[in-house]
Each structure stands twice: as structure tokens, then as C-alpha cells.
Amino acid sequence: MSKLAILCVDDETIILNSLRRQLKQAFSDRYVYESAESADEAFEIIQELEEEGSDVIVIVSDWLMPGMKGDEFLSKVHQDHPQVVKILLTGQADEEAISRVQEEANLHQYLAKPWKSDELVSCIRSGLNTIKQQG
């Protein structure tokens, strides 16, 4: 059986560490937790996980990052992995970007920074439930 992974993408290490801690506390060892500081690094991690036989099932991404913004990143992910639950977690996204990622990438939810841990966990749980219902 393949391992299931949750990938967090943010250019701030402190945010990534906080997300990992909250996810591990909520879901313990049920998932593999990966993090990337850019969209390019995230694509590399997705490819490595696929080569290992693991599946990314949830991506939590910031919007304002160097290189590629989160809405463009999630849209590109959606082209190859439409089943992945995509969550935009940011304090800076404009309404146009949020609308675009909802249309182009089937965005599961947008959460504003600073976020509450229980809101994030609830959002991921509801996303995982939609996967179970589809599968």
C-alpha cells in the first residue's frame, strides 16, 4: 500500500515548521508530511514521492512566494493531479487570484493567515472526506 502525503508549500520556514507540528499533532503517523519553500521544490517533492510509490493527497500552499505564486502552482498541480485536495493559506492573496484558483484548480478552501490550528485541521479533514466520497 502506498504512503499518503500532505505537502505544505511556503517560503517561510517558521510557517512550514508550525504547519508540520500542527498536522502531526492532529493526524499523528497516518500521513507523510513534506514541505517545500517554493513551487519548484514542491514539484520535485511530488515527483520523488511518486517515484517512491507515495501519493500526495493534500497540498497547503501559500500564495505570495518567489518564482511562482500559489494560485499558478495549484493550477499546474491540478492539471496532473486533479484528485489532490488544494488549500490556499495566505494573508496576501487578492480576490482575483482566489477566484482564479477556485476555477482552474478546484480549490478546496482558502484560509487566511494567521490561521487557527483547528480550522486548518477541519479543512483538511473535510478535504479528505471528499476524496473518500469520490473514491
Q: List, for residues 12-70, the tens digit of each pLDDT value.
A: 999 999 999 999 999 999 999 999 999 999 999 999 999 999 999 999 999 999 999 99
Q: What is the count of structural domains for the chain?
A: 1
pLDDT digit string (tens) for 71-119?
A: 999 999 999 999 999 999 988 877 898 999 999 999 999 999 999 999 9
List the domain range (segments joined by +) for residue 41.
4-134
Report field, pTM of the whole predicted structure over 0.75? yes
Q: What is the CATH number of the domain that holds 84?
A: 3.40.50.2300
Helices 70-80, 39-51: inter-axial angle, 10-degree rounding:
20
E-strand stretches of 12-113:
32-36, 55-61, 85-90, 109-112
Q: Taking the CB of residue 50, how many other CB atoms lie within 10 A of it?
A: 15
